[in-house]
Chain A
Amino acid sequence: MEKEIKIITKNWGQINPNQIADYIAVGGYISLEKFIKEMTPALALEEIKLSGLCGRGGAGFPTGMKLESVQKEKSKEKYFICNLDESEPGTYKDRSIVDCDPHMLLEGIIIEALIVGACKAFIYVNGNYQKQIAILERVVGQAQEKNFLGEKILGSKYNLEIEIFVGAGAYICGEETALINSIEGNRGEPKLRPPFPTQVGLFGKPTAVNNAETIANIPWIIARGGKKYATIGSKKSPGTKLFIINGSVKNPAVFEAPLGTKLSTLIDEYAGGVQKGKEFWFAQVGGSSGRLVLKKDLNMKLEYDREAKVSLGSGAILVIDKTVDIHELLLSWMSFFRRESCGKCVPCREGTFRLWEIAKRLQDGEISERDVIAIKDILWTLNNTTFCPLGKFAATAFGDAINNFQKEIYRLSK
């Protein structure tokens, strides 16, 4: 294994996450102090742009650019939102951040909110994360007491209020415009864009939404500089990433590894390889919306790259061995999307419903010629005509499976 670089997990297991003093003792809130005493929002933004940090919520959008567009907006009322909806099956990295080092996340939120000039920051938490909600409430209180939050932060002119907003745990509410709808009290479904939230966001005001993991990188960047951060990981997307490795591996867990690490390294070295007596079949990279990677492609580097065939998504890796029933897998994916589609647009609402029906028939081995054509049609329309990316997500793994494992899925003899 390469020399370990730890940014996000450096305090995990080392400090008591419930004690703000513990976090301060290991250099916590130094970045906030540095930002307040030595920097301007413009300077801090410069560091983030230099770092090359890009979003860890799935799309990999450059964080500096996003913050810049909100910072530029003239509005008096702006918002910053930490996206902690995390409802991708098998993904629990953001939850782990809250469990192990919540103050680091909070410090990141405060700095980013001040950079964009937000009057208020929201933490949008998945409603199933009851324990994490309690932790967040506690740490926000602690930070308030220390005046890292609230009015005239550390004696400066900055004010910031943080609200923990508990969502209902819908997958679509992780999508930023649906998330905004949800906070506004509307139905949790995506909004048309443009306009983008950076211009017309929460309550119609400029809003920056970042994933929790993205935010957790900020204190490090402010403390040590963007240039230094840019040397870590891959050229295209610097830094480290939390990978959640599940399935038929020896040690399923969350690991922090530099971006650009090979998939085989993650599976074999970080997660201890495939379980004894089992044979690797394929891996799904990026959660339930992720693509399937076969043995021959295990050498691929995992990084955020718009051109890459396999998108990293949230960083979840599911390792599937040959004993797994592909039909069960297909049905579990489609049960998820058939439930989590918001129901707004026709191809996704109806398409996921029909694919789920067909997946049940596939499991029972009762599929007809009509279904085979329907699968192709639905995957196509999901890929090309849905309102938001969820439709495409629903088609990704299912489509890869149909393309690669026809024989098994259709129970063909050859």
Chain B
Amino acid sequence: MNIKINKKEYAAKDGETIFVACLRNGIKIPTLCGTKNSHEGVCRICVVENNGRLITSCNTKISEGMEIVTESENISKARRINLELLWADHAGKCVTCKKNQKCELQNLATEQKIENFHFIPRKEELTDRENLDLLKDNRTRVVVDEGNACISRTTELCVECRRCINVCPTKELSFNHRAGDVVVGTPYEKPLDCIFCGQCVKDCPTGALTDKNDLLEIIGQLNDLKKMAVALIDPAIMDSVAFEQEEITSQRKLIATLQSLGFEKVFDLGFGMELALEKMTQVVKNSTKNNLMLSHCPSFNLFIEKYYPQFRKNIIDVTHPDELMAEFIKTEYAKKEKINPEDLMVVSISSCVAKKTPVKSSSPSEISKGGEAYFTGQAGSPMAKFDGVKNLDYVITVRELGWIIRQQKIKFEDIGNADFNSGLAVKNEKIKDIIKAGKTAEMIAEKLKVKYIVADGVPQIKNILRDLDKGRVETKIIEAMVCDGGCVNGGGQARQI
């Protein structure tokens, strides 16, 4: 099929949208609500002209005879007005916002050269007395949710683009109320109590959904001379860290950056992965039971707790690599290096948001009540002892790392390359790819000569669990990762635009 874009003929593929056809031919159209997987057409920013009429490019399929124009006075006007309206649907608190400089709304306003903002933000406390009197009943209610350990939510910054609603694998979020009163959130505005995969945080264009952490506290500890800061690098983040901070082009560069932030030791999480693999192999070997579920994806564990509690006992009781490694560092490593464990701060830089949940919680609802650690203390559990020291002090995502880097005004010109500290080296480099791509089960199975099943993404997981429930499958081990494609696409990764 042939269509005209900006007066030039192009060959377009049947069934593709105008947006995709343009992109394929190097013409970029601004978008906000549209993502790779959803095109709800709610923001109206991606408008183009077809034979003089404004249409949205993200969800209109091409058809014979289209004459598309991607830049015109009317197109700019539409984008300007809609962005101005949207801007005022959002409290412009850029300076204190975690998404500052990484916010898609902010970027659009800059790109589209929005200079004149006609409307008073309707989700912001007003200071101007005159406006306050005039508009006091025009404020929109803001919902803030700090009731869980992983994700901060505030609708003050939400622009109702619905990306989070569309990406959520368990449909936790919804569009509530109507018209100017819409609130994107949970049913009946209950605190978020989900599997904390973090995909919604990754997709949120603004600061409405952010990773939860006291980053200023981390910075404080980094600057504290008494503290020794240890960073663990999750190998999966290497796939996305450059999208967050383009200067970090290699692992060695990342290590040097972390050192300049104040991390005295930087280790490869691969070490922890080997620990986990070993322990899991051991448990599988010693178990006579079938359908054992590997436990290194915390979201999967929460998913079972919440939706398939009948399989709770199938999950093998080994925690995730980050925690195991932190435990190792605070015990054996500290002893060897003669460091007081209390002076250590272990921070894992992770592709995963769910790892922020305190290890081995009793139930997801307890996690959502607060950030405190809960240990089940089950007999035989490697995590049974809880001696009051938190092993893994913080889990930060790639986005949070970016924020700290920007906050600390790191000058990349001055940063060279560095290598991991010695002492906790990875034995087999292959382990990294194995864990991040979901091949742990395969590895254990080969070693023990048993059968296994692998699933990634909630739809696949549901299928397998349904089959298990019906007794239609029988295997030795099941490896499941909630994020599509495993940790490389984890919720803590930077969004690739």
Contact = CB atoms under 8 A, between A and B. Distances in A.
Q: Are chains A and B native binding partners rather than an unrelated pairing? A: yes
A366 B134 contact: yes
Interface stretch (B179-187, B263-271, B277-285): B179-187
B47 A385 contact: yes
Given A339-B178, A352-B179, A354-B119, A346 B44 contact: yes
A357 B122 CA distance: 11
Interface string B42-74: 111101000000100001000000000000001
A158 B160 CA distance: 47
Given A349-B160, A361-B134, A381 B182 contact: no
Given A346-B85, A374-B118, 15 more contacts: A170-B178, A192-B59, A338-B179, A343-B179, A343-B180, A346-B44, A349-B89, A349-B182, A351-B85, A354-B85, A357-B138, A384-B78, A385-B78, A385-B81, A385-B82
B78 A381 contact: yes
A39 interface: no
B113 interface: no
20 contacts: A187-B174, A338-B179, A341-B179, A342-B179, A343-B181, A343-B182, A344-B40, A344-B175, A346-B45, A346-B82, A347-B44, A347-B85, A349-B160, A349-B179, A349-B182, A357-B135, A377-B84, A378-B81, A378-B85, A385-B54
B41 interface: yes
Interface in B118-176: 118-119, 122, 134-135, 138, 159-160, 174-175
A349 B86 CA distance: 10
Contacts of B84: 377
A386 B44 contact: yes
Contact of B180 (A352, A370, A373, A377): A352
B88 interface: yes
Most buried by A among B77, B119, B134, B174: B119
B447 interface: no
A339 B179 contact: yes
A374 B116 CA distance: 11
Interface in A184-202: 187, 192
Nearest to B177: A343
Nearest to B135: A357
Contacts of B135: 357
Contacts of B178: 170, 339-343
Contacts of A380: 77, 81
Given A353-B122, A377-B81, A345 B42 contact: yes
Interface of B: 40-45, 47, 54, 59, 74, 77-78, 81-82, 84-86, 88-89, 118-119, 122, 134-135, 138, 159-160, 174-175, 177-182
Contacts of A342: 178-179
A393 to B, nearest CB: 14
A378 B40 CA distance: 22
A353 B121 CA distance: 12
A348 to B, nearest CB: 8
Contacts of A370: 118
Nearest to A353: B180
B82 A347 contact: yes
Contacts, number: 100
Nearest to A354: B119
Nearest to B77: A380
A384 B74 contact: yes
Contacts of A22: none
Interface in A256-270: none
A352 B77 CA distance: 18
Interface of A: 170, 187, 192, 338-347, 349-354, 356-357, 361, 366, 370, 373-374, 377-378, 380-381, 384-387
Given A192-B59, A349-B160, A341 B180 contact: yes
A346 B110 CA distance: 19
Contact of A344 (B42, B54, B86): B42
Contacts of B89: 346, 349-350
A339 B74 CA distance: 28
Contacts of A385: 44, 47, 54, 78, 81-82
A386 B78 CA distance: 10
B37 to A, nearest CB: 15
Contacts of B74: 384
A49 B6 CA distance: 42
A353 B160 CA distance: 15
Contacts of B42: 344-346, 387
Contacts of A374: 118-119
A170 B82 CA distance: 25
Contacts of B160: 343, 346, 349
B86 A346 contact: yes
A250 B81 CA distance: 44
Contacts of B119: 354, 374
Contacts of B181: 343
Contacts of B138: 353, 357
Most buried by A among B43, B77, B85, B159: B85
Nearest to A187: B175
A340 B177 CA distance: 11
Contacts of B175: 187, 343-344
A8 B51 CA distance: 42
Nearest to B83: A346
A72 B208 CA distance: 48
Given A192-B59, A351-B85, A374-B119, A345 B44 contact: yes
Nearest to A384: B54
Contacts of B81: 347, 377-378, 380-381, 385
Most buried by A among B43, B177, B179: B179
Contacts of B134: 361, 366
Nearest to A357: B138
Contacts of A357: 135, 138
A354 B59 CA distance: 27
A370 B85 CA distance: 14
A345 B78 CA distance: 13
Given A342-B179, A343-B177, A343-B180, A350 B78 contact: no
B184 to A, nearest CB: 10
